[in-house]
Amino acid sequence: MSLAATLREVFFRWALRGRAPEASPITLTQRRVYVLPTRQGLAYAVALLVMLVGAINYNLSLGYALVFLLAGLGITAILHTFRNLVQLRIAPGRCEPVFAGELANFGIVLTNLRDETRPAIRLRLPAQTSIEVEILRQSSFEARLTLPAAHRGWLPLPRVTLETNYPLGLVRAWSYAAPDQRCLVYPAPAETAPPLPATPGEDGGAVRLAAGMEDFAGLRRHQPADPPRHVAWKAAARQNSGLLLTKLFTGAAAHTLWFDWDVMPATQDVETRLSVLTRWICDAHNAGLAWGLSLPGSELAPAGDDIHFHACLKLLALYAQE
């Protein structure tokens, strides 16, 4: 790490003063809102100085008055910018699990208790582009910050920078917050995976997945892991509500699958096995099958519903972690 980066880290640690992650709701008190002039603010100051020299040189009394008025305007700009940010409340919002490689989507609920709107507040995660939000008077707004989720497991919400230049852009007020929030990242489903394992079940037959896919059974809400070709595009277009629906198929529901860690080829490493298992679970879930999952040290009894689907994926996500 370069010296500058180290120094920056030291500064951030000082700015948050060992509070990360903080208990919610976080209130941005006056002691944690910082204010500095922007480049425009400096240009403004230089312009005022030149104007003052002009007023002195030509003995323009009203010139003095104008310069002093604009200087006062600069001071009120500091206060207004500070006021736009101070005492804002921050609480963690929703955060749906995602698959590794996707964007984690952190919801941050900003609450404005003041009887005035707070416009043009920008939120930013380190190394990400910022989003600008406006929080109406006495209301809450859920801002959504995205962050690439590279690895499975818990992805904690990094330090959030909140800043505003409103109203004049001459000064910038900013603050840091670290709400206690994390996003569960499932392993990425393997792109190439062996077919669903044949289970030595009651009838001993292999799963006829292709056949099962022919019988349309109904629609349900689209989930991130659903294959795109199962999306009911026509239905989505008709609805016009932005909700995507996934076509469900029956045919193989009677079969029960077992995804067992131990029966996988020993040549595969842990992450590969996890991503293959993830693929299988997604496929089975999409196909409307029931499945059971067995990992070293834990086992989930066969089922086919959403709760089971997410429980399995969570188990995979957190496998050998913590």
Partner 1 sequence: MRKSKPVTSPLVARQSLWLFGSALLVFAPLVPHLPDWLIALTTLTLLWRGILLWRHAPLPSHWLLAFAGIAGAAGIALHFHNLFGRDPGVALLVLLFSLKLLEMHNLRDGFAVVLLGYFLSLTQFFYAQSILNAGLTMLGVTFTTAALVVLNHSRQPPLRSVRLAGLMLLQAIPFMLLLFVLFPRVQGPLWGLPIDAYGGLTGLSDSMTPGSISQLSQSEAIAFRVKFAGAYENKAPRQATLYWRGPVLSQFDGRSWRIGRVFVSNRLPYQPAGEAIDYVVTLEPHFKPWLFALEFPVAIPAEGLMASDYQLLAKTPVRTRLRYEMRSYTGIVIGIDESPALLRDALQLPPLSNPRARVLAASWREQFGADDDAIVRSMIDFYRHQLFFYTLSPPLLGEHSVDEFLFDSRRGFCEHFSAGFVFMMRAAGIPARVVTGYQGGEVNPVDGTLIVRQSDAHAWSEVWLKGRGWIRVDPTAVIAPSRIETNLAFALPAGEARPLVALPGFVWLLQMRYRWDALANVWNQWVIGYNPQRQRDFLARLGMRSPDWQQMTVVLTLISGVLLLGFTAWALYQRQRLVPALALWNRFSKSLAPRGLARSPWEGPFAYAARIAATLRGENPELGVEAARIAEIYARLRYAKPDPVLTWQLLQEMKLRVSRIRLLKR
User: Which residues of the shown chain bind partner 1 in the complex (CB under 8 A)?
Assistant: 30, 39-40, 43-44, 47, 50-51, 53-73, 75-77, 79-80, 82-83, 86-87, 91, 93-94, 107, 109, 111, 113-115, 119-120, 122, 124, 129-130, 132, 134, 137-140, 142, 163, 165-169
We find the least distance from the C-beta atom of residue 180 to partner 1, in angstroms, to be 14
* Closer CB to partner 1, 10 or 270, in the complex: 10
Cβ atoms of residues 175 and 32 within 8 Å = yes
* Closer CB to partner 1, 68 or 216, in the complex: 68
Cβ atoms of residues 142 and 123 within 8 Å = no
- CA–CA distances in Å: residue 165 to residues 79, 88, 173, 276, 289: 11, 15, 6, 48, 54
We find the least distance from the C-beta atom of residue 14 to partner 1, in angstroms, to be 16
Question: What Rg do the C-alpha atoms of the chain give, in angstroms?
Answer: 28
We find the least distance from the C-beta atom of residue 136 to partner 1, in angstroms, to be 8
* Closer CB to partner 1, 51 or 193, in the complex: 51
We find the least distance from the C-beta atom of residue 111 to partner 1, in angstroms, to be 7
We find the least distance from the C-beta atom of residue 84 to partner 1, in angstroms, to be 9
* Closer CB to partner 1, 129 or 321, in the complex: 129
* Closer CB to partner 1, 20 or 108, in the complex: 108
List % helix, strand, coil for the chain (3-state, nearest 5): 35, 30, 35
Other residues' Cβ atoms within 10 Å of the Cβ of residue 127: 8
Tokens of 205: 């037959």
E strands in the chain? 26-27, 34-37, 89-92, 98-99, 103-112, 118-124, 131-135, 139-148, 153-156, 160-164, 171-177, 182-186, 215-221, 245-250, 256-260, 290-295, 298-303
* Closer CB to partner 1, 7 or 211, in the complex: 7
* Closer CB to partner 1, 17 or 39, in the complex: 39
We find the least distance from the C-beta atom of residue 29 to partner 1, in angstroms, to be 9
Cβ atoms of residues 167 and 77 within 8 Å = yes
We find the least distance from the C-beta atom of residue 169 to partner 1, in angstroms, to be 4
We find the least distance from the C-beta atom of residue 176 to partner 1, in angstroms, to be 12
Q: Which residue has the tokens 């001071």?
A: 75
Helix/strand/coil (H/E/C) assignment for every residue in 181-224: CEEEEECCCCCCCCCCCCCCCCCCCCCCHHHHCCEEEEEEECCC
Q: Is 284 exposed, middle or buried (0-12, 13-18, 19+ CB in 10 A)?
A: buried
Question: Any residues with CB less than 8 A from the CB of 75 and at least 6 apart, and which?
Answer: none
* Closer CB to partner 1, 1 or 266, in the complex: 1
